């Protein structure tokens, strides 16, 4: 058995649902797959002595899951007062409108199409509910509308799909762009260095207790893959599908369609920088 402390980011073992920090509780959605890992992490955030809570990423349109989130909050003496989205992919956001119906909340997101209410989310915004403070961190790259939420009181960051609890994420070309993604990873690294963030509360997979190690791993992984793709093109692999078959030969074939999105983003990046 591999010691979790030797893995990137030091992932926690055990059950994924339940308390993760003093202010964050996870309710795992029942949508496990190769792409969603164990399922979508729906986060309930609240100050310990507050009756109000914020929910980040209600997840898929699954009535049982959405009601479970509400019940979990209520059993802790909390009322959901606001819903936030890290980005618009269905496994994170499809259930948001129904969840808003169940809780009577507004939905705030970067993408206006996902909002319910007048307020969106953007760089520099601070969300305050019941004494809880969340700082909005724009992290485009996985998608154009990707956001992270810095929870300074717990020295934690909610990363959506920008950093996962296990494995690496997809740069979902053409909406996602590699240059943006690398900039976003560097922004997260600054949070770990300058703001003392040490815990990653991801959109999928286990909590990571070494945020800086996780981000450094992601940056190194991206540099390695980019070099592999550049070499593959130089060796005559001309199409994204050919590059995937060569560079991602060790990856489960069921993930190749997603890998091709990242390859397309990498090819675009290399072309823009005059490297191919």
- Residue 3: the pLDDT is 63
Contacts 24+ apart (CB under 8 A), 44-47: 44/69, 44/72, 44/73, 44/76, 44/78, 44/80, 45/132, 45/134, 45/151, 46/73, 46/76, 46/78, 46/129, 46/130, 46/132, 47/23, 47/130, 47/131, 47/132, 47/153
Give the span between the Cα atoms of 167 and 154, in whole angstroms.
24
State the helix-helix crossing angle for 178-194 and 256-272, rounded to 10 degrees. Answer: 90
Q: Rounded CA gap, 224 and 264, in Å?
A: 16
Q: What is the pLDDT of residues 21-80, one digit of tens each?
A: 999 999 999 999 999 999 999 999 999 999 999 999 999 999 999 999 999 999 999 999
Pick the CATH number of 18-209 from 3.40.50.1820, 2.60.40.1930, 1.10.760.10, 3.60.15.10: 3.60.15.10
DSSP state of 5: G
Q: What residues contact residue 224 under an 8 Å CB cut-off, 6+ apart?
A: none
What is the C-alpha to C-alpha distance for residues 180 and 169, in angstroms, rounded to an integer?
14
Q: What is the pLDDT of residue 71?
A: 98
DSSP 244: H
Distances (CA, A) of 240 to 89, 220, 262, 275: 23, 22, 9, 16
91 in active site: yes
Q: What is the pLDDT of residues 97-108, one digit of tens each?
A: 999 999 999 999
What burial class does residue 12 get, using C-beta atoms within 10 Å of its C-beta: 0-12 exposed, 13-18 middle, 19+ buried? middle
Taken in order 13, 14, 15, 21, is the CA torsion positive or negative?
Answer: negative
- Domain residue spans of the chain: 18-209
pTM of this prediction exceeds 0.85: yes
**How does the average pLDDT of the chain come out, rounded?**
96
Q: Which one, of 209, 213, 207, lies nearest residue 198 by Cα?
A: 209
pLDDT for position 7 = 86
What pLDDT, on a 0 to 100 scale, did the predictor assign at position 14?
82
- Which one of 62, 91, 175, 180 is the catalytic residue? 91
Q: List the chain pLDDT tens, one digit each, 276 residues.
A: 346 767 899 999 988 999 999 999 999 999 999 999 999 999 999 999 999 999 999 999 999 999 999 999 999 999 999 999 999 999 999 999 999 999 999 999 999 999 999 999 999 999 999 999 999 999 999 999 999 999 999 999 999 999 999 999 999 999 999 999 999 999 999 999 999 999 999 999 999 999 999 999 999 999 999 999 999 999 999 899 999 999 999 999 999 999 999 999 999 999 999 999
Q: Please report the pLDDT score of residue 1 as a whole number.
A: 39
């Amino acid at each position: 058995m591999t010691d979790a402390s030797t893995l990137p980011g030091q992932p926690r073992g055990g059950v994924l649902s339940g308390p993760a920090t003093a202010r964050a509780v996870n309710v795992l959605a029942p949508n496990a797959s190769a792409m969603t890992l164990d399922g979508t992490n729906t986060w309930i955030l609240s100050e310990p002595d507050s009756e109000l809570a914020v929910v980040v990423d209600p997840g898929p349109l699954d009535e049982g899951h959405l009601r479970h989130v509400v019940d979990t909050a209520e059993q802790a003496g909390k009322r959901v007062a606001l819903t936030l989205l890290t980005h618009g992919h269905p496994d994170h956001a499809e259930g948001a409108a129904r969840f808003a119906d169940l809780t009577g909340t507004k939905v705030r997101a970067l993408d206006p199409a996902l909002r319910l209410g007048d307020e969106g989310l953007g760089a520099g915004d601070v969300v305050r509910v019941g004494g809880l403070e969340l700082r909005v961190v724009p992290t485009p790259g996985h998608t154009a509308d990707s956001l992270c939420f810095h929870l300074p009181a717990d020295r934690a960051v909610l990363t959506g799909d920008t950093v996962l609890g296990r494995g690496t994420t997809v740069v979902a070309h053409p909406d996602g762009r590699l240059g943006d993604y690398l900039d976003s990873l560097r922004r997260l690294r600054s949070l770990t260095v300058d703001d003392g963030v040490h815990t990653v509360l991801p959109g999928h997979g286990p909590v990571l207790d070494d945020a800086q190690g996780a981000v450094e791993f992601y940056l190194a992984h991206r540099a390695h893959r980019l070099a592999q793709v550049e070499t593959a093109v130089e060796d005559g692999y001309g199409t994204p599908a050919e590059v995937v078959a060569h560079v991602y030969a060790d990856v489960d074939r069921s993930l190749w369609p997603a890998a091709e999105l990242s390859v397309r983003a990498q090819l675009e990046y290399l072309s823009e920088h005059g490297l191919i």
